[in-house]
Structure 1
Amino acid sequence: MNIDRRWLTPITAGAFLLSAVTGVLIFFHLDIGLNKLAHEWLSWLLVGAVVLHVTLNFGALRRHLSSRLGAGLLGLCMLVLALSFLSLGEKQEPPFMASIHALADTPITTLAQVARREPEDVREILRGEGLHPESDAQTLGELAGPNPHRQMLLLNKLLGQH
């Protein structure tokens, strides 16, 4: 395989920079705009670049891994990766989810007040999203089901500009 370092090294470095910066922003909940989308999708560029980099430098990598230090560090990273699949109890939700749950458990009449809409407008929007509200006493959770992502999308529609 003929891989040219003149383009592979800058792509690897650039993809690492993109992944590292967006990852740090996401970690500290400072991501805006397309940060999360870029991190999730363009990190594949990093994966591909690293695979090519390893392919190009396989001999040097093999020498590093033949030392106790190299093998130990790789083994430690693999152990941490394996441990990352373990659960330490109940999954912690982001703090804003309490608001989502509270709004999803609110009757349509109250939800309409929060959204500064008439209850009929709320019911119409929900019908447009494939739901079937029959009473203003029903909640978004009852209508949309327990999926918080779906509830958030519906709340965004209801609370958005009108």
Structure 2
Amino acid sequence: MKISREWATPITIGAFSLMAVTGLLMFFHLDSGLNKFAHEWLGWVFVAGVSFHAAVNWAAFKRHFVSSKVGRAIVAAFAIALLASFVPLGGRGAAPPVLAMNAIAKAPLSAIAPLTGRPVEALVSELKNAGIDISGPDTTIASATGRSREAQGKAIAVLFGGGARD
């Protein structure tokens, strides 16, 4: 199959439009429905479209590296920005929801009970009924479930949702 501007450029334009709109929606926390899914998965269409577009326009693309100092500088700036994006920032770890779930998983049930509005004895009973082996009020979700995120999620759903969710 021959790569053609007739379809490579429209794919690039369409995929860029999708990526720009869904990216802006996600940035401003206005995304809904399939926005995030489309952004993540259809981003591959954008990569393919840009690759095809660059292949079709190779002579112009190459000129930016060979004869244009401004072109090289811009590409170099983005390459540096890409490299810098891998540098970990001090004090920034996991996302806040993950931090909260980890804190809940590591806290004894007696500390979690006031957050749920139910007595610790009721929590122990509900967790046991859900198949989570809790030995008492000082047990943590993490110690009862091990490293299983699925089991921890189930336990947290029991604690805060009033029952196990499948």
What TM-score, normalized to structure 1?
0.73
Q: Which deviations, in whole Å up to 9, do the C-alpha atoms of 1:90-135 show, x marking residues without a partner?
A: 324444455434433251795598287953333333x3xxx53333
The aligned amino acid for 2:109 is P
Contact 1:15 1:46 in 2 (8 A): yes
Q: Which deviations, in whole Å up to 9, do the C-alpha atoms of 1:48-73 show, x marking residues without a partner?
A: 11111111111110112221111111
Contact 1:106 1:139 in 2 (8 A): yes
Structure-to-structure mapping, 1:60-79, within 5 angstroms: 60-66=60-66, 67-79=68-80
1:153 counterpart SS class: helix
**Do the aligned partners of residues 35 and 152 (structure 1) sit closer, same or farther apart at CA in structure 2, a change above 3 Å counting?**
farther
* Number of equivalent positions: 157
What TM-score, normalized to structure 2?
0.72
Structure-to-structure mapping, 1:79-98, within 5 angstroms: 79-97=80-98
Structure-to-structure mapping, 1:130-145, within 5 angstroms: 131-145=132-146
User: In 1, distance between residues paired with 2:155 and 2:11?
Assistant: 40
User: In 1, distance between residues paired with 2:129 and 2:110?
Assistant: 11
Give the gaps of 5 or more residues in structure 1: none
- Residue in structure 2 matching 1:107, options 93, 106, 109: 109
Q: Which residue of 1 aligns with 2:23?
A: 23
1:132 counterpart SS class: coil
Q: CA RMSD in A?
A: 3.3
| Identity %, equivalent residues | 34
